[in-house]
Structure 1
Amino acid sequence: MSFSIVLDNLLYLLLAGWPQGALGGLALTLVLSVLSAFLSAVLGLGFGVLLVMAPAVIRYFLTALLGFLRAIPIIMLIFWFAFLLPVVLAVNPPKLLTVVLALSCIGGAYLGHSVAAGLGSIAAGQWGAGLALGFTRWQVLWQLILPQALPRMMPSFVNQWVSLVKDTSLAYIISVQEFLYVARQIDGKTTGAFSTEIYLFIGIVYFCICMGLTLFARRLEPVLQRAGGKANSLA
């Protein structure tokens, strides 16, 4: 098996037309992944906190919304953001923004329940101890409960981030030149048929990225556990 087709087109696979043209390829996949992971983490944290702290009416509405987002396919949400928003709101967002928003909304929906479960796993006595120290309920959450709960949430965050890396490949449906889209371009122009070498290379790269995320999370977990232990000792 020869990987000459990969080596001959390696720069295009990594960057697409950049710097003369738009950024694409693996670089664009990484950009989409990082932005989506950050926004989904922010949304997930916000959703999870509201599921625990908000009044009952808001919790019921939010639970229904998150259930809806988790139930629909990501590809459908990308289509909605890309083609429905211009019709309904008379706005025409960039394609990259529509992909990031779609991935972040669904990722945040999944993480919201994980965050709520992580917060709920902390013993109720921790809340009482924090309130007895004179903290408000929100101060107890941010200073005592959340630092202890974060290590427990980490596997869910990592799993979701790994999923987001793979889900960026769905951007091809609206012609965003991410990694897989560029690979298919090269495959079509050079072989006119299925190229085992290109798609094997794509699979290896995705594996390395996802494994790197997993190893990073394992290195980060002891740091979060130490922070959680300090918060527990304060209580």
Structure 2
Amino acid sequence: MIAGFNVIADNLDYLLWGRMATGEPGGVLLTMLMAAGAAILALPGGIMLACLAWRFTGAMRTALFLWAELIRGIPLIFVIFWMWYLLPLMTGGDLPGALTVTLALAWFTAASVMHTVLAGLNALPRGQYEAALTQGFSTQQTLWRVLLPQVMRNILPSLVGIFISLLKDTSLAFIVNVPELTTVAGQVNNRVQIYPAAIFIFTGVVYYLLCCSLEQLAKRWRVTRQAL
């Protein structure tokens, strides 16, 4: 067991930062960068899609629902593969692997955010929307100033769960050899070929700590907001 810890200690920099010294982040750092980037894209994207689905009926809402059901109904690994092979064809050049996976994660996560926000909007009393209109607010102003602030507060636990799943889903980047935490852990294991339990227990503990930290930050933020 002590030797297993020595393997972790000897490769700790690589597991945490990858080849950051040469400008190629990896390990835990790249995992966090991809998760943060995907969340930054997926949250406003999902909110805007939910607002469109809430505001407009007919063909637009049907199209948004079909898109969301398609994305949520297939494994994320297929979305990553699609983006990996299709984006170079669409852009005419190769994109960095980490960027491709980040875009795939954002696209996948935006569908879940859309459904969650839309459910929050539908749960609010219809009278709030009508009252805001009678006060001279436009539909857009009612959404952004009256309805969405309440929705975001109510659905925070669901959003935290979505982004915790997003953080763990970054591990699927190993299928296209993007050097996030799971990939570099596998590389270390293949290089030393001993103590795989220690390496992957360490990897699991890191994911657990990252997810718990995100949950605690969300709880603290919510308590702070309620105290104001």
Q: Which runs of 5+ in 1 are unaligned?
A: 228-235
Whether the 8 Å CA contact 1:41–1:108 is kept in 2: the answer is: yes
Whether the 8 Å CA contact 1:147–1:224 is kept in 2: the answer is: no
Residue aligning to 1:232: none
Alignment of structure 1 residues 184-195 onto 2, 5 Å:
184-190=186-192, 192=193, 195=196
Alignment of structure 1 residues 29-44 onto 2, 5 Å:
29-44=31-46
SS at 1:135 equivalent: coil
Residue aligning to 1:139: 141
Residue aligning to 1:204: 205
SS at 1:19 equivalent: helix
Mapped partners of 2:194, 2:75: distance in 1: 29
Mapped partners of 2:128, 2:227: distance in 1: 17
Higher mean alpha-carbon deviation, 42-51 vs 28-37, is at 42-51
Residue aligning to 2:178: 176
Residue identity (%): 36
Residue aligning to 1:231: none
1:19 is aligned, of 7, 18, 21, to 21
Query: Closer, same or farther in 2 for the Cα pair 1:88/1:38, shift >3 Å?
Result: closer
Higher mean alpha-carbon deviation, 135-144 vs 77-86, is at 77-86
Shift of 1:72: 1.3
- State TM-score, norm by structure 2: 0.93
1:68 is aligned, of 57, 67, 70, to 70
Per-residue CA deviation, residues 80-135 of structure 1 (Å, 9 max, x unaligned), is 11113334553422211210111001100011000000011111111111111111
Mapped partners of 2:14, 2:90: distance in 1: 37
Per-residue CA deviation, residues 17-45 of structure 1 (Å, 9 max, x unaligned), is 11125111111111001101111111211
Mapped partners of 2:173, 2:54: distance in 1: 33
